[in-house]
Structure formats: structure tokens, C-alpha cells
Structure 1
Amino acid sequence: MPISTAILLAGGSGNRMQGQVEDKILANLAGKPVIAHSIDAFVSSGQLQHLVIVVRDATQQAEVEKVASALLNGPFSVTFTYGGAQRQDSVWAGLQAAPGDTEVVLIHDCARPCVTPAAIRESIAKAAQIGAACLARPVTDTIKSADAYDGAFLPTTVDRAKLWAMETPQSFQYSIIKDAYQSVIRSGAQITDDLSAIEDIDQPVAFVDNTRPNPKLTTPADLPYLEYLLREASASPNSP
């Protein structure tokens, strides 16, 4: 089993929550803070040695520490570090804070509280074998690309057989993603997810097809759906 570190991104601004919650990763969801669901899933996977939590500031860190201390048991090392202005800056801070013996690193957005231990275990196995893995789902909707035309659009159907929606965790052999992010930071490029950092080096990626919905908490409208999903998962006797 590879030595694995999870980087949990917790410091996002949450501007699209429209002020309905003070901090979305600390908001109560299905009986506990949003971030607690992610921490619990990674700990329950049974394959994690290190946890790096990337926070916004000292105030948020103090609150997250309270949540984490109630969930962590066993021989885990836990490190806190501060994120940056952009997501990629926060990931880079997390990569630099990862313990030196890390072999596989999983980068996870804590605004996705429905991640499962089973998905985490498969992600670690695939990343160790192939070099990179990502929780993803095949696109089932008909997708159009569209050029603006005289107040309307000229749509073209995109082949959805090649389309996957990316989720997290996105997992990598540590040396691969650290070198890739170092190049991203050095060049000043802007990327929206971690796989974008390795697209120029022809690194194969295993897509881990999630068996459960894993949506992101982005707006207040997402809260009732996530509440439903989490309560359904906890009530299922076969919940992974």
C-alpha cells in the first residue's frame, strides 16, 4: 500500500453562497460540518497516512481544527497550511506541505462532501499503478458548442462519448504532480483543475467512475440536495 497524503482544500471564498452561510465548509449538513464528511471519508478509507488541510486564515484554521480533532484517530499526521489567491496557489501550498515520504497524493475539494471511502481506495490504487486518477462521471446530456449569430446561436453537437465531468479527489504519484505544478506556478498559467497541470506531459489518467453522486456545494440551492444524498448514504446498510 503506497504512503498516501490527502490535500483537503478548505479555504475557498464561497462568494456564490450569497452570504447565506458564513463559511460553507463549516456549514451544518446532515448533522455535521461540510468538511467533516470529507475528513470522515478519507479516514474511513483505511489507506491514508497524512492529511494536509489548506485553510484561508488562522480563524478558519481554529474552527477546522475543532472539527478534525473529533474525527481523527489512529496514526495520522495532520498539517495545516494557508492557501493563496487562486485554487492553484492553494494546491501548490498543500503539495509543499506534504510529508516527504508521500508516494500518492489526493487533492480534494471539501465542497464535495459526498465522496466515499470506496472511491478513495480505488483512486489510490489507480494512481499508484498508472500515475494519475480522477473521480469522474461520463456526460449523459446532449452537449452543444455554440457560436453567437445575429442575436442567437449556431449550435454544433459535441460527441458526448468522449466527454467526462471531472470531480475530486484527483490523485497522482507525488513526484508527477509536484513537478507539474512547479511548472504551472513558474509559468503563471491559470488552470481550473489538477489534471490540467499534467495535460502537456502525456500522462495517462484513470477515470474512476463514481457509483454515487458527488456534487459540489456551490450555491444555497445545492444544500437541500446534498442533505438528501448524505442522509440517504448514511441510511444505506451497504454504504461504501
Structure 2
Amino acid sequence: MPKSTAILLAGGSGNRMQGQVEDKVLAALGSRAVIAHSVQAFADSKQIAALVLVCRDEEQQSAIRSAIESLVNLPETTFALGGAERQDSVWAGLKAAPSDTEIALIHDCARPCVTPEAIRESIAKVVEFGAACLARPVSDTIKSADSYDGAYLPTTVDRSKLWAMETPQSFRFEMIRSAYETVISTGQRITDDLSAIEDIDQPVAFVSNGQPNPKLTTPDDLPYLEYLLAKRS
């Protein structure tokens, strides 16, 4: 089995939480902090050799240590301090990964509903294709819209080709490390990890998630996430 490292991003600003929680990945969700659900899912997959938790600062790092100390069967765990932009934090995580890492799974800890099954399937798809992403096909009708005199001129977009990206996004380690080295050296700003490899014609397996995997963005998301986790239990 290839050595897989999970890079968990925890340092987002959480501006859209409207100040109702001090740190969204440390907010209470059931009996655990938000971040603890993701950490335990990766541990429970039993295919992760190492975890790298990328934090905003040393104060958050200390709080996260406390939030996960009671979790069981954790793999080797290290911490890294992120940067001002998402790509800086991913790069810090990649540099902190063990040198013998073969597969990197990059996950946003604001998605606490990730499952061990999805993690295992992601690793299997990377072995087969080189890259994989948890994703869901878009089911809504989507329009592109040009402004027109206070209204819009809409055009229907073919949704059969549209997928909403989730995390983890997973890659052969040397490929994603090289891609991020280019991103950092050229000063690019990217919002997800697949963007780093779009120029190299790398096929990506989309892993259609069997369970909802929404992102914690606003305070109203917390009851829904708690419902999903309770239902699964």
C-alpha cells in the first residue's frame, strides 16, 4: 500500500461566521470540535500513514492539539503554520509531509462530514489515475448571465459537464509538490488544488460522494452538519 499523508487545512479566516464562533474548526459539533471529525475520519480509514495539520498560528495549534488529544488510533501527526493565502498553507503542509510520502490528500477541515470510505476510494483512484477529487455532479439548472440595463441576459450552461468540487483532493505526491512549487514561485492565487495541475493534462478521477459533505461557512450550517453526523451514527 502506498504511503499516504493527509494534509488538513485548519487556518481559514472564517469571516462569514459573523463572529458567532471564535474559530470555526474549533466550534462544537456534537461531542467534538469540528476539526476532530475530519481527523478521526482519516484515522478510521486505516490507510493514512501521517497527518499534517496546517494551523493559522501557535495559539490555534495549541487549541487543536487539545481538541484532538482524546481521539483514537491517530497516525503520526505533525503541525505546520500556514500563510496568508490558501496556496501558502498547502505549500507549508506539503513541505512538512514525510519525505517518503507517495500520495497526498489535501482536505479542508471545514468539511467535517468526510467519511473513511470516501478517503479509501480517493487513495485507490490516485493509484489508478494519479489524481482524484471528491465531487458531486451539479443538479441545478445553471445560467451564465451578462448584465443588461439593471437586469441580466441569461444563457443556460450544459450541466452535464459541471461538477462541484469538494475535498479531499488527492494526488501522487511528487506531482502535486512540483505543481505547487510552480504556483508559489510564479505568485499564482488558486482556490483549490486541482487548479495547480490544470496545465499538465493530468486526468482526475471524480469520486462521487455517497454522503453529503458540505462546508461549514455560516453559523446556520452548524445544525445541518450536526444533523448529518447524528443521522450517520
Q: Please give the per-residue CA displacement for 1:59-117, whole angstroms capped at 9, x wherever unaligned.
A: 1111111222211426x211100000001100000000000010000000000000000
Cross-structure match for 2:69: 69
CA contact (8 A) 2:44 2:73 kept: no
Paired with 1:134 and 1:33, the residues of 2 have a C-alpha distance of 25
Q: What percent identity do the matched residue pairs reach?
A: 71
Paired with 2:219 and 2:42, the residues of 1 have a C-alpha distance of 25
Paired with 1:80 and 1:49, the residues of 2 have a C-alpha distance of 15
CA contact (8 A) 2:8 2:109 kept: yes
Question: Are residue 21 (structure 1) and residue 36 (structure 2) matched?
Answer: no
- Which consecutive unaligned segments of at least 5 residues does structure 2 have? none
Cross-structure match for 2:219: 220
Partner SS state of residue 53, structure 1: strand
RMSD of Structure 2 on Structure 1 (CA) = 0.8
Aligned letter for 1:177?
A: I
TM-score (norm: length of structure 2): 0.98
- Which consecutive unaligned segments of at least 5 residues does structure 1 have? 235-240
Cross-structure match for 1:144: 143
Cross-structure match for 1:78: 77
Paired with 2:221 and 2:120, the residues of 1 have a C-alpha distance of 26
Paired with 1:233 and 1:184, the residues of 2 have a C-alpha distance of 38
Partner SS state of residue 21, structure 1: coil
Report how many residues are paired. Answer: 233
Paired with 1:94 and 1:72, the residues of 2 have a C-alpha distance of 22
Paired with 1:80 and 1:31, the residues of 2 have a C-alpha distance of 23
CA contact (8 A) 2:131 2:203 kept: yes
Runs of 4+ in 1 over 3 A off after TM superposition: none
Partner SS state of residue 111, structure 2: coil
The 5-angstrom pairing of residues 21-170 of structure 1 reads 21-73=21-73, 76-170=75-169
Cross-structure match for 2:3: 3
Question: Are residue 172 (structure 1) and residue 188 (structure 2) matched?
Answer: no
Partner SS state of residue 39, structure 1: helix
CA contact (8 A) 2:3 2:102 kept: yes
